[in-house]
Structure 1
Amino acid sequence: MIFDGVYGNSAIKNQLQNILDCKKLSHAYIFCGGFGIGKTMMARMFADALTGGSAADVIFLTNEYYNIKGKASLVVDAVRAAIVDIYTKPYLADRKVIIVPKAETMTTQAQNALLKVLEEPPSYCVIILVAQNEDMLLPTIRSRAVILRFSQLSDDEVKQYLLDKYSFADDMVVRLAGGSIAAADNLASSDETASLVREFAEIFSRFSENDMTAVYEAIAVFEKEKDKSELLLSVMCLMLRDAMLNNAQKCDMPRIENIQAGAAALIIESVENAGRAVRGSRNYNMVITELLLETWRTIHG
């Protein structure tokens, strides 16, 4: 099977293989799910299978591909340029595949432009939208595509991946990866990242102390390591869940002591809300500062 090298999501691998075997294709698919769980890799492999490996007939629809610079969102000009390619017949293969990574970043204008293609697609073209959050796509786009919802990998699957690639699997890395191969790679391949995790975990473990010094130290870490904020929030959730469930120590990460289960649950909810706020472009420093101060207050009742 062409997806044998992909870890996890066996049901989706089987579904895609059946589509290839039975040759019952849709003109559009949405591959959705969390970060780093194989969506883009499987989209690429599916595209290669459909085109017989013809790189000329697989296009990744991004701003950069169409020489549009300085835009965080996928803009309508890129989609309009792609439409010209979509209605150009394949060069070598029988099919042409358009992959749209980070499809949820498409502006409304861009989505409406793409919608016109989905309403009257050329018979040879397959469009794959890859998104972490399918709800960011217009309902009219979702209704015209087959949606495949990818799941986070199990800890055992992440551990096997690390063993196969690095010949070792640190329990801390497996747990912090949260079912994401990409997150596991980032942690396992960087001593600097692993050191940051342990430093921050040590600081957060001191939130149970009456002295608020740890709070200000944590704020400083978040300000310095803004690009790793998701990882730091994950450390907080992991330590809080261990405290809430009174887990035996599963790895050498410091523990946060003397916290009530109800308080831990409330803080986890706040951490998850803060993560969404940061991804939604709210003021980063304000969100993080409010979160950490409120966390300390909740712990101390």
Structure 2
Amino acid sequence: MSFKEIIGHEDIKEQMMRAIEKGMLSHAHLIVGEDGIGKSTIAKAMALKILGKTKDMQYPDIIQWRIPKKEKSLKVDHIRELIEEINKKPHEGDKKVVIVHEAHKMTEQAQNALLKTIEEPPKGVVIILLCEKLQVILETIKSRCQIHTLRALSEGEIRKFVLREYEGLNIEEVDAVVAFSDGIPGRAEKFIEDEEFHHIRDGILQILISITKVDELKAMEYESFFNKYKEDWEETLNCGLTFVRDAMIFKETGNRQLIINKDKIKNVQELANVFSYIKLNAIIDIIGSAMDGLRKNVNSALIFEMMLLKLQEV
């Protein structure tokens, strides 16, 4: 993937290309942006350019460093292994690029362990940290890195991305993907390719429409749904929020063009008919409160149970 093939982020791409071509590239970088924005794509294009490669393939001098499976953070031991890898000589030339994924999941101790290497990496080594939450990165790390913040693509750019990657879609499908993606290529890909994501969307939508009409037994089934997808609670509940907000917008304006979930317009209309504007606002508050609790690591089963009880009472 070359810089020219990447849609959007023009200023950042231009800055990187110019620095590489002039031999003025910093040895440490932080690429910041939400999940799916294109951090790893930009990093790979950057690595290829640094090594002078034109084909997008695996190279021994492009190291992709990820959190080990079953681990939730990058700890000091992982960073020591990373430093060993950084200190190894390049295989093919005199340059090497190390891309650290999910750098925001480094513990404070891990960041401190990496600090000296970030400050003075071996000659020819470029370190690229990919990060979703810049605020959790220590100032001492940030001050030693060049920071590139990726923003959501414009509507025109995300439409161009969708049309290029998914040629078989009709206009209505493209409109739905563009609206849902909110300028994030990864969200567009998930919307089209991730079957489980469609189960989540359909499930949360059905729960919202019917929650006030079901008996206790059915409510327990709904609780099982949330527990099944508890690892994806943020995605699941955010889906619910987009449906409720769409219902509020439709109720207030009747304008379909303002709806995010364009492929579910009939369901959105049904949701708008089932609940008053005040009740839709209450649902948003209930879901928001549940999300706050989950962020604080309160027991997820308890959170889901309480959320469903409150939704039934709306």
TM bucket, shorter chain: 0.7 to 0.9
Which deviates more from structure 2 when the two are superposed, residues 181-190 or residues 125-134?
A: 181-190
Q: 1:206 aligns with which of 198, 205, 210?
A: 210
Q: Which amino acid aligns with 2:185?
A: I
Distance in 2 (CA, whole Å) between partners of 1:58 and 1:71 is 23
Q: Which amino acid aligns with 1:290?
A: M
Q: What is the aligned partner in structure 2 of residue 47 from structure 1?
A: 47
The answer to whether the 8 Å contact 2:154/2:183 transfers is yes
Aligned residue pair count: 292
The answer to whether the 8 Å contact 1:62/1:78 transfers is no
Q: What is the aligned partner in structure 1 of residue 226 from structure 2?
A: 222
Q: Identity of aligned pairs, percent? A: 31
Q: What is the aligned partner in structure 2 of residue 13 from structure 1?
A: 13
Which deviates more from structure 2 when the two are superposed, residues 243-252 or residues 209-218?
A: 209-218
Encode CA deviations 1:179-211: one digit per residue, 9 max, x unaligned. Answer: 33223222212455435423431331335x466
Q: Is 1:60 equivalent to 2:64 in the alignment?
A: yes
RMSD across aligned C-alpha pairs, in angstroms? 3.0
CA offset at residue 101 of structure 1? Answer: 0.2
Q: Which amino acid aligns with 1:287?
A: I
The answer to whether the 8 Å contact 1:94/1:124 transfers is yes
Distance in 2 (CA, whole Å) between partners of 1:51 and 1:280 is 43
Q: Is 1:102 equivalent to 2:102 in the alignment?
A: yes
Describe the shift of the 1:192–1:80 C-alpha distance in structure 2 as closer, same or farther (beyond 3 A).
Answer: closer
Q: What is the aligned partner in structure 2 of residue 260 from structure 1?
A: 277
Q: Is 1:289 equivalent to 2:305 in the alignment?
A: yes
Encode CA deviations 1:139-194: one digit per residue, 9 max, x unaligned. Answer: 21112111111122344433332322222135444333343322322221245543
The answer to whether the 8 Å contact 1:97/1:125 transfers is yes
Q: Which amino acid aligns with 1:176?
A: F
Q: Secondary structure at the match of 2:48?
A: helix
Distance in 1 (CA, whole Å) between partners of 2:147 and 2:122 is 20
CA offset at residue 266 of structure 1? Answer: 6.4
Describe the shift of the 1:290–1:28 C-alpha distance in structure 2 as closer, same or farther (beyond 3 A).
Answer: farther
The answer to whether the 8 Å contact 2:163/2:174 transfers is no
Which deviates more from structure 2 when the two are superposed, residues 233-242 or residues 175-184?
A: 175-184
Distance in 2 (CA, whole Å) between partners of 1:18 and 1:162 is 28
Q: Which amino acid aligns with 1:114?
A: L
Distance in 2 (CA, whole Å) between partners of 1:252 and 1:63 is 36
Distance in 1 (CA, whole Å) between partners of 2:203 and 2:70 is 34
Q: Which amino acid aligns with 2:198?
A: A
Q: Which amino acid aligns with 1:289?
A: E
Q: Which amino acid aligns with 1:33?
A: G
What TM-score do you get using the length of structure 1 for normalisation? Answer: 0.82
Q: What is the aligned partner in structure 2 of residue 141 from structure 1?
A: 141
Distance in 2 (CA, whole Å) between partners of 1:266 and 1:16 is 47
Describe the shift of the 1:238–1:282 C-alpha distance in structure 2 as closer, same or farther (beyond 3 A).
Answer: same
The answer to whether the 8 Å contact 1:89/1:124 transfers is no
Q: 1:239 aligns with which of 240, 243, 250?
A: 243
Which deviates more from structure 2 when the two are superposed, residues 22-31 or residues 213-222?
A: 213-222
Distance in 2 (CA, whole Å) between partners of 1:163 and 1:113 is 44
Q: 2:186 aligns with which of 182, 186, 207?
A: 182
Distance in 2 (CA, whole Å) between partners of 1:267 and 1:32 is 32
Which deviates more from structure 2 when the two are superposed, residues 91-100 or residues 131-140?
A: 91-100
What TM-score do you get using the length of structure 2 for normalisation? Answer: 0.79
Q: Which amino acid aligns with 1:95?
A: K
